[in-house]
């Protein structure tokens, strides 16, 4: 224990074993802290400092040397080290889908209560086909599984909108006309008017018009 004896004869005693006869005093003894607590606080501070350092490390540097950092375990241990009992309140398991994973497997993961997000950097056609595939699959009866499935569909919707915006910006830069939408205000990924189902699109519909029709079914850009 670490104790401090007050008074004229007071002295700081460190790592002293307190015997019963030491407590037979006419003084008021108050507990301050133990070495174990002090070591725990010191370890927690070191974990926080280490986490801050590793978060700023370039992942390519670690990959070039043949290792990777398990940030999840490090963050969970840091949260537990500072005295938080339930670290799951701050760290949630997430599965980022891959292009080779079929929609049925994604649905199995969401039915199990897992959070699945759409991958980034894929073509517009990929996101449109995935949204159509998930809309064609039956929704589960479980409220949690239904919520996870809708979160996945909206994740694909968000990635589709991002891909459409990137395509629109590329078209504007190629045309040298920033701020204009090819084909007029009614065309492009923003869409407008009444929802249009994908099967009702004309054969010559642009990718932006087809995407607006899909998004209208899941409450996308039309506001429904």
Residue range 13-33: mean pLDDT, rounded: 64
Average pLDDT, the chain: 74
Per-domain residue ranges of the chain? 38-89, 92-176
Residue count of the chain: 224
- Six-digit token string for 56: 């700023």
Note the pLDDT tens digit of each residue in 73-83. 888 887 777 77
Banded pLDDT at 24 (limits 50, 70, 90) = low
Residue 65: left (phi > 0), alpha (psi -120 to 50), or beta?
A: alpha
- pLDDT of 182 reads 43
Note the pLDDT tens digit of each residue in 143-179. 999 999 999 999 999 999 999 999 999 888 888 765 5
Q: How far is 54 from 45, CA to CA, in rounded Å?
A: 14
- Secondary structure, 3-state, the chain: CEEECCCCCCCEECCCCCCHHHHCCCCCCCCCECHHHHHHHHHHHHHHHHHHHHHCCCHHHHHHCCCCCCHHHHHHHHHHHCCCCCHHHCCCCEEECCCCCCHHHHHHHHHCCCEEECCCCCCHHHHHHHHHHHHHCCCCCCHHHHHHHHHHHHHHHHHHHHHHHHHHHHHHHHHCCCCCCCCCCCCCCCCCCCCCCHHHCCCCCCHHHHHHHHHHHCCCCCCC
Q: How far is 48 from 11, CA to CA, in rounded Å?
A: 34
Note the pLDDT tens digit of each residue in 89-116. 777 777 788 878 899 999 999 998 888 9
Checking if the pLDDT of 223 tops 50, the result is: no
> How many of the other CB atoms lie within 10 Å of CB of 110?
25
């Amino acid at each position: 224990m670490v104790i401090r004896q007050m008074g004229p004869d007071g002295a700081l005693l460190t790592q002293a074993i307190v015997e019963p006869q030491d407590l037979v005093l006419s003084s008021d003894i108050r507990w301050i802290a133990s070495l174990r607590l002090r070591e725990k606080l010191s370890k927690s501070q070191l974990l926080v400092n280490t986490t801050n350092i590793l978060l700023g490390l370039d992942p390519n540097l670690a990959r070039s040397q043949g290792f990777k950092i398990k940030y999840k375990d490090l963050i969970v241990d840091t949260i537990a080290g500072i005295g938080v009992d339930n670290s799951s309140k701050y760290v949630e398991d997430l599965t980022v889908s891959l292009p080779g994973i079929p929609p049925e497997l994604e649905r199995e993961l969401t039915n199990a209560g897992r959070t699945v997000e759409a991958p980034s950097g894929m073509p517009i056609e990929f996101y449109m086909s995935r949204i159509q595939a998930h809309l064609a699959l039956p929704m589960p009866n479980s409220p949690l599984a239904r919520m996870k499935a809708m979160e996945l569909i909206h994740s694909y919707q968000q990635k589709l909108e991002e891909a459409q915006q990137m395509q629109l910006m590329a078209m504007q830069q190629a045309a040298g006309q920033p701020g204009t939408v090819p084909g007029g205000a009614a065309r492009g990924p923003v869409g407008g008017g009444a929802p249009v189902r994908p099967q009702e699109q004309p054969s010559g519909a642009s990718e932006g018009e087809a995407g607006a029709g899909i998004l209208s079914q899941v409450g996308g850009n039309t506001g429904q």
